[in-house]
A = this chain, B = another copy of it.
Amino acid sequence: MSEMNEIKRPYHHGDLKRTIIETALQMLRESEGWQFTLREIARRAEVSHAAPYKHFPDKSALLAELALIGFDQLRADLENSIAPFPDSPIKQLSSASRAYIQFGETNPSHYKLMFSSDAGVKPNQVHLNERAMSTLGVLLDILRRGQIVGAFKKKPVEAQAAACWAQVHGLTLLSIDGLLLKEKVGENAAEAALRTLLEGLQQ
């Protein structure tokens, strides 16, 4: 009688790993930080609380995977943002900066997680950093071509990249933490800050 109403889920979920990741991403969006529990994820996936351990050795492994996904998304966002301006490194730089900050503001927990080697994420930090570094690649390209075209000062691009990255990283985090208040820092602080940096880069 009753078993007619019940949808008989098969013993095997079929795509648990993806489901776990998507659920985790969802929970990252829902609340601040990454205090979500593996057991809650399992509950939402309607699976026993230990099932996730067949796909991730421990919670920090899942967090690391989420971080990697974040870096991939961020790089994609950056590349999309610069595509419309193939001939203007300056426009590319400011467009990418805006896209970067927006990514952080749209996915605050995720962004913070990406840079949290502590708070639970320790494994394959090297690998993770490599992927993070590839984000830097987008920036380096812009600066290199900017120097060739004569838009930027001819100084070591790596140093310029560090300056740019630090600037957007800092702005993003300050914004996420609600520290760029109008009263304290003026209207549109991020834009103004980026302009200031740009003036230091341009020749």
Could you tell me which A residues sit within 8 Å of B by CB distance? 32-35, 108-109, 112, 115-120, 122, 125, 129, 132-133, 136, 155-156, 158-163, 165-171, 173-174, 177-181, 184-186, 189-190, 192-194, 196-201
Beta-carbon contact of A159 and B117 below 8 Å = no
In the assembled complex, which residues on chain B have CB atoms less than 8 Å from the CB atom of A179? Answer: 129, 132-133
Can you identify 26 A-B contacts, CB atoms within 8 angstroms? A32-B118, A33-B120, A34-B119, A119-B119, A129-B178, A132-B179, A133-B179, A155-B196, A158-B189, A159-B185, A159-B189, A159-B193, A160-B192, A160-B196, A162-B174, A165-B170, A165-B174, A166-B167, A167-B167, A169-B170, A170-B170, A170-B171, A196-B200, A198-B200, A199-B200, A200-B200
